[in-house]
Structure 1
Amino acid sequence: MSELDSVAVLCGGRGRRMGSDKGLLLMDDRPFIEIITAKLLGHFSDVLVVLRDTDQAGTYRGILDDRVRILTDELPGAGPLGGIYTALGNISGDAALFLPCDAPLVTDEFLVNMKECFRRLGDSCDAIVPWGDDGPEPLHAVYSARVRGTVEALLSKNKRRVGTLIESINSCRIAAIRLDPTLQSFRNFNRPEDLRI
């Protein structure tokens, strides 16, 4: 199996619960998306950010490093599953790690461990999904490009839950705590009160 060189950050949501675009929220005076992509550039040669439209892309272009590729949803309004569909059609390799834009605390250890899991399991799994006490972390997972057709079929039936995708393919479960013993990589920010660290 080849190396895992691609990573896609899904950032097309409207942040309704938060009240604003979550990728633009600040931590230590830096937007979440800048924090996340800066860390990813240290581990991946192909870093993508999937956004909802060209207006959002214009805003992000001024923030992101020039090495980050910006994509806009090919299937607007399809949620995170639509973002996965878009990214899988544009990655440079056989698979990509996916992350949400509201997880700025992703650790180097998590990224290294996911790449190692892909080296060991990438040939035999369509997805490598961290699993915690509360169930799967489908937006912190590796998906093979070969599942793009399955994603398209699910979306054509108006099935938009990423959980439905991992139930429909050969998903390998990995204990989240083994990937990041601190579990900080899985901490996301959905509401204003979550920003109190």
Structure 2
Amino acid sequence: MQTQKHISIYILCGGKSSRMQTEKGLVMFNNKPFIEWILEAVKPISNQIYLITENTDYSIYNYPLLADIHKNKGPVGGIHTALTHTNTQQNLILSCDIPMISTHIINRYLINSKVINSNIAFVSDSTRDYPLIGMYSVNNLQKFEDAIQQNHLKLMSLIQASTYHRIQVASRDFEALYNINTKDELRTLIQSRP
């Protein structure tokens, strides 16, 4: 499959998760850290891959590590850092806690969809939105800059004040979207695997 030269990929590695009580991207699932599952999913899509983190433990993966420009601003700060750094119009933003994500899911719903050139496009299942499985145009940079200056750090509120597309995912693909925030959720995921 042809990699996309016009898309940059930013994985928000976050910090030490209070609910998981450890560095979330390095949590193990099926003998690999979460971050490895995500990297495997995105490598066929683009060779412009960046990890937004200050944690040098991630340097073993040989991708550039970017520290947040504005510290402790959550996902809004991470996306702002990505949009400040990027040299592409469209940017795939992913959280580090979605170990079931796949190349197929990203391509099907985001890269090859009609909304590829939207300002913001993200996936949704029947009950939840996943703004950290989304495409963000660099045109959003000023909005994210303003939000940080005003300390408006609720990502969905910021998105809803913008032009966006919510992409409904087929029920058979819901599992790929799940973000694992707690040890209980991780246990449930492990037990559900054959």
* TM-score, shorter chain, exceeding 0.5: yes
Computed over aligned residues only, the root mean square deviation of the Cα atoms, in angstroms, reads: 1.7
Measure, in 1, the Cα distance between the counterparts of 2:126 and 2:15.
Answer: 25
Please list, as runs of the form range in 1=range in 2, the aligned pairs for 1:1-197 lying within 5 A after superposition: 4-51=6-53, 53=54, 56=55, 58-62=56-60, 64=61, 66=62, 68-113=63-108, 114-117=110-113, 120-123=114-117, 125-177=118-170, 181-196=172-187, 197=190
2:151 alignment partner, SS class: coil
Per-residue deviation at 1:133? Answer: 2.0
Per-residue deviation at 1:168? Answer: 1.5
**Unaligned segments of structure 1, at least 5 residues:** none
| Aligned residue pair count | 184
**Unaligned segments of structure 2, at least 5 residues:** none
The amino acid across from 1:175 in the alignment is: Q
Measure, in 2, the Cα distance between the counterparts of 1:4 and 1:112.
Answer: 14
Is the contact between residue 107 and residue 184 of structure 1 (CA under 8 Å) also seen in structure 2?
no
User: Normalization by structure 2: what TM-score?
Assistant: 0.88
Measure, in 2, the Cα distance between the counterparts of 1:164 and 1:29.
Answer: 37
Q: What's the % identity of the aligned pairs? A: 25
The amino acid across from 1:121 in the alignment is: V
1:185/1:92 Cα in 2 relative to 1: closer, same or farther (>3 Å)? farther
Per-residue deviation at 1:48? Answer: 1.2
1:132/1:9 Cα in 2 relative to 1: closer, same or farther (>3 Å)? same
User: Normalization by structure 1: what TM-score?
Assistant: 0.87
Measure, in 2, the Cα distance between the counterparts of 1:161 and 1:13.
Answer: 17
